[in-house]
Structure 1
């Protein structure tokens, strides 16, 4: 809006000059409305944040408090709270068994994640190349394996590798390996880990394969056509076109698999309870046995808290890789 005012121009003549009127002042209602709109996302997130704090935050605080206590059956019966400072952590960190379990857990996690990612990636790439009917059939089988409850799958593998009447021993015996007719697959550390690894890899491949197949559908087909015109073969096409697009998905999926395998509990415990002779205990099994099995609840809480610290370290390393990748892209 403009208003006309009389004035004198540079030549001395009287003329009409237009000046802009100041913008209208905003009333309180639009400002309040904008503020309410800006705070709406935080209000919508508030219930989820409160549920997270209640369901995850309080158990974490409680576990941290227990790790600084001497909590055994005597204290539970008498309702005593005996604080012992960092004695639990000193005992755990000073125990050679703890460091053996840490080393075993890291090696077990690394072996499983490598197998899962390699086989899952190959299956995901296979899904991208299959026809519609074969793809649906393979996806149906993957979803069935993925949807099977963990304890149910563990029970099936116990039956498959049973010493007597096991399917695997019967098949090996029929193929000529008669010494395997009564083989105890859960009798040694290596064979027990082999069965558990086979179970975890079998359960985890569907997630990786379906995730990677979904990622391949986002790659423009024109890039493959351009690569073929340049004379690129299958490997060159994968390394120059497919892998750069799949790299973020591979990093995210690898990170998730590291966490899931690292904290794997039901497969190992239900298979052989960390045996034989506690040689297949990983950190979650070790914390459970020390806490509930030996009824040293403060000790078990300290081991569980240290396990979370190891996972936080892995998380920080993953975030560092992601940030470095984003910087390279910029």
Structure 2
């Protein structure tokens, strides 16, 4: 009885057969390279769109900020470079710093109200039954989906001086002095209307996302906390809050950006009035640039606004990262 053993390759043909035809390794390397390049290729369309839609306008704004451009130069197609004069004039203006401080305070107040009320509504959604939850979610989605211009127009009608619903209701409730009250006649009342509008439009985003975050928390954790004698507040601080903290950090970051650049609401309510007392930086840049036909100055204010916003968000992210490191 003979036992056959495997014969080692003795020639080039046999070597190719043992090596998978001589193409195994190149194919493996090509597949590895394609796999490494796949994420970058998938990101390429998004990056190209970002550069085209954001990068190019930003570059044009920066170039425009170094020019002395008004209606005369625009009609004659004349480019007059003036260096950093626009930035010097802007940074040396008391109005710019006054508007900057106003914008920061305006953003802080709105973000605090949005996050507080949005968190409460989100926790309420987690407690409601199916029917009431669906009804509330439907109303939140409607408020969230309404276009900004349409929502601002509705609020202008609600707070109108002569035919506004708010003044009519207050008059019927006994505040007869409010029957003909102008909500845009003073700085504080105008900001009240704008803040109410922004908070109303922003709460749905926070509430819906927070409710979605609560659905990821296991009920067993609440049962364990209850067995340990934890009450409602103790369960919230030890179970709910740790899960919601990353969400709250990210949402606050987004709200800071969205509120800081709330141009449409502020401008459409009263165009930054009365007496330019409710202008925030985006409105201030528009009025100085387009309104006063000093486009280079408006571009410089816009560029400084972007730098300020980057600084605020970087400071906030630094605080968040430091807190996360301390928790670890």
Tell me if both proteins adopt one fold, taking TM over 0.5 as the criterion: yes
| Separation (CA, whole Å) in 1 of partners of 2:45 and 2:197 | 37
Residue 149 of structure 2 is aligned with which of 148, 151, 167?
151
TM-score normalized by the length of structure 1: 0.91
* Unaligned runs of at least 5 residues, structure 2: 8-17
1:225-236 correspondence to structure 2 within 5 Å: 225-236=223-234
> Deviations for 1:30-85, whole angstroms, at most 9, x for unmatched residues?
21221112111111211211111111111111100000110111111111111111
> Deviations for 1:242-287, whole angstroms, at most 9, x for unmatched residues?
1111000001101111110000011111110000000000000000
Aligned position for 2:103: 105
Aligned position for 1:180: 178
| Separation (CA, whole Å) in 2 of partners of 1:35 and 1:104 | 53
Aligned position for 2:90: 92
State the 1:326 CA deviation: 4.0
| Separation (CA, whole Å) in 2 of partners of 1:217 and 1:28 | 48
Q: What is the total number of aligned residue pairs between the two structures?
A: 312
1:313 maps onto 2:307 in alignment: no
Aligned position for 1:222: 220
The structure that is strand-richer by fraction is 1
Aligned position for 1:270: 268
Aligned position for 1:286: 284
| Separation (CA, whole Å) in 2 of partners of 1:245 and 1:183 | 46
Aligned position for 1:78: 76
Q: What do you get for the CA RMSD once the two structures are aligned?
A: 1.8
Aligned position for 1:11: none
State the 1:28 CA deviation: 2.1
> Deviations for 1:4-37, whole angstroms, at most 9, x for unmatched residues?
9xxxxxxxxxxxxxxxxxx969632221221112
State the 1:236 CA deviation: 1.0
TM-score normalized by the length of structure 2: 0.92
> Deviations for 1:127-171, whole angstroms, at most 9, x for unmatched residues?
000001000000000001111111111111111111101111111
Aligned position for 1:258: 256
Residue 114 of structure 1 is aligned with which of 112, 115, 126?
112
Aligned position for 1:30: 28
| Separation (CA, whole Å) in 2 of partners of 1:27 and 1:296 | 64
